[in-house]
Structure 1
């Protein structure tokens, strides 16, 4: 973990050296021997680790993440360091607040607080606003949070919404068996223990505090169904090439556009799963990678509107092409109602908007000012996109969700997609 700006600079320098070594090894590789490939994989793993640490530090340092939570006592030291960084406090400033020498804080953090007494840990937790649950809420409130279990062993399996999962027939509980054992068995089979570890930190962008166990359960269901589709040979090979995304705008004009979009994504190696959200998750969509190189998008259709479907879909595609393969080690969960206060989410929003309606075309749309149904339809025809997308963007930019109600495609998505969401066709 990175503790200071100085260490961040050192990590950046180390990252540059590793990236240069990877380029050199790749360029001068004369054969594809297992030894050379092992060296390349090792370098890539080191690069990924450092990139993830730098990204986490920068998000915390800039105030773009002001909440994190851990689920084991041995994660408390990491929470304390995260809280200090997110509060914009240096090690020296924390020491002054506690009337300690800066070297003492440095020693505490370097040893992950192994030499600190319980009373000292409580004092530091109070100073940093860290709650007993192992979470912090920073002074700069945002709509982003990070959830990470150390390992699957840290999960309190009874916290998963197993009654709702059983009700939805995700798994069976034979008479006389323990439902909590069954929910654990289901999760480990459906998702795997790595999805409840630091290898898959959950980055949640939401205007509400979600139930993180509901997110974990929902993700397991999406992964389970995605793997079934992949096993049936229905998903093509994925390439990190977004030049084909313009085809989606043409599909928006078709009555069965969402179905055609699902098929287009599958052809390009992206699995789209429709899975209704669980209570308390406040979730519209998510993007994740399974089995190393298989991108998956999960949508809840919480709002059964065309404008919401197309924007959330493109936002998650933004995460796939901008972030998921960039060493961040985050699974991205999104609530469209959250504020745009996070550079990662702003990037995904811009990606979505630019693909759906390029900025130069948006600037020419007179419906932004006229705010009439007729002007929206005219602009949609000119741009070559479904009118719901223009209407939805106007409503969002105007922050007025009472206008253009007849154009946002209310009730036109779920009937198309949910009826085929469980048959793996």
Structure 2
């Protein structure tokens, strides 16, 4: 006998009864052949007992089939008794497959709701979507740097930045004011505690600064876009890498985009891996401007050439003092020049706990 697949679903017992009849065997005789109680054979035939792997192996040995054949019959029969499901389970799975639902609920960005339908509605509302099949279209997104695909984790973070930034009321943006206040920002680069004044200065210039803790695995450092018909710039930072030099480089990088009007009608997403900038002029310009604000490039080049490769603590601290920069800021730029990421690392002070006290923040223990 060969394995066969029934066109209709019947209990395995019906097939067993047909096989016994074809061979002229009684249930008692078959039970004796496989060494099992006659009641077991009868119960299987009457669909009162399921075929187990052990039973399937015995049937296969006696009837010249495979054990898998009998297990397939049993599985098909059991499944035929299960009521059909609606698409709610599939939709719930698709929702969580596409979006970081658990993290969004955990952070209070959306409500879990009392049902899968309500949860789906909340997620779609967060992303301004009509259905699960719709592509995400950020209202300001026309371009992004490096031509990378934006992941769902990144989109969730960006939409949260947008929500908070939109709710923040600021004076009208003034490019002239921002350029004038750049010197005030530079004077804050001597001490970590001075960073708490950054949000106020940017606010007075009409720049919305928002800090949102990133979702794990999102691989995003910041974002720059414009709202209110491209009249109001938004800077979003994750503060990944809690170091004074990273904060200032990231901030100046984004401010350069703002001053140049980059991202109007578009979206610039950053991870600040300078090697990925390629030939993107806006990114090259922003990286160079950020480095120059951190430590003036001419002075940095001169110090590097005079002291490389032996950088003493004394000369390093003296240079930072002359530049009126915190040593940690100088250390960050020196590390980039040398590729020695442990160089003066002890001076790279942590600042996240400082900036989150004054900036509009979501995460890091702060609920917006």
Aligned to 2:128: 188
- 1:142-181 correspondence runs (5 A): 159-176=98-115, 177-181=117-121
Gap regions ≥5 residues in structure 2 = 1-93
Distance in 1 (CA, whole Å) between partners of 2:329 and 2:160 is 29
CA contact (8 A) 1:214 1:278 kept: yes
Aligned to 2:289: 351
Of 158, 169, 183 in structure 2, the residue corresponding to residue 246 of structure 1 is 183
CA contact (8 A) 2:223 2:267 kept: yes
TM-score of the aligned structures, taking structure 2 as reference length: 0.63
Query: Which one has the largest radius of gyration?
Result: 2
Give the stretch that moved more between structures: 334-343 or 310-319. 334-343
Cα 1:330–1:211 shift into 2, 3 Å: closer
Say yes or no: does 1:374 pair with 2:314. yes
Say yes or no: does 1:271 pair with 2:211. no
Of 297, 300, 310 in structure 1, the residue corresponding to residue 248 of structure 2 is 310
Say yes or no: does 1:285 pair with 2:225. no
Aligned to 1:394: 334
TM-score of the aligned structures, taking structure 1 as reference length: 0.55
Aligned to 2:114, the other structure's residue is in SS state coil
- 1:128-143 correspondence runs (5 A): none
CA deviation vs aligned residue, 1:155-182 (integer Å, no higher than 9, x gap)? x965221221011111222212432221
CA contact (8 A) 1:194 1:200 kept: no
Give the alignment's Cα RMSD to 1 decimal: 2.8
Aligned to 1:288, the other structure's residue is in SS state strand
Say yes or no: does 1:221 pair with 2:157. no
CA contact (8 A) 1:210 1:281 kept: no
By how many angstroms is 1:240 displaced? 2.0
Distance in 2 (CA, whole Å) between partners of 1:387 and 1:343 is 30
Of 324, 346, 359 in structure 2, the residue corresponding to residue 384 of structure 1 is 324
Of 298, 303, 315 in structure 2, the residue corresponding to residue 365 of structure 1 is 303
